[in-house]
Amino acid sequence: MKQLQSIEEYKQIIQDEKVIFMFSADWCPDCRVIEPILPELEQENNEFTFYYVDRDKFIDLCGELNVFGIPSFVAFHNGKEVGRFVNKERKTKQQIQDFIDSISL
């Protein structure tokens, strides 16, 4: 999974790519639980580019996108938000896949 480096990169990515941002933090135990399944999800959903967003590094972006719980996922296509799975609960692989399947492009 790629790692978001800057707000400028974020602004470019949402315009140019079908992207899913995973908001997370190193200290988040629920985020660590889903780490082993993320490569599988990326491989099974390769029409999207996945980016890890460090919540602590991009706290202003989290506020702008109303991401107040982690792990959370927000999808963009052609500069518009096309889906979100945002809450503070632990997520299963099936829940994340269901979210991805629900994204309407």
Q: Which residues are catalytic?
A: 28, 31
Among candidate residues 103, 105, 91, the one with its CA nearest the CA of residue 30: 91
- Residue 72 tokens, joined: 């959370």
Per this entry, what is the length of the chain?
105
Parallel/antiparallel/unpaired status of strands 19-24 and 72-77 = antiparallel
* Residue that the structure tokens 């896949």 belong to: 97
H/E run at residue 76: strand 72-77
Residue 18 φ/ψ, nearest 5 degrees: -85, 110
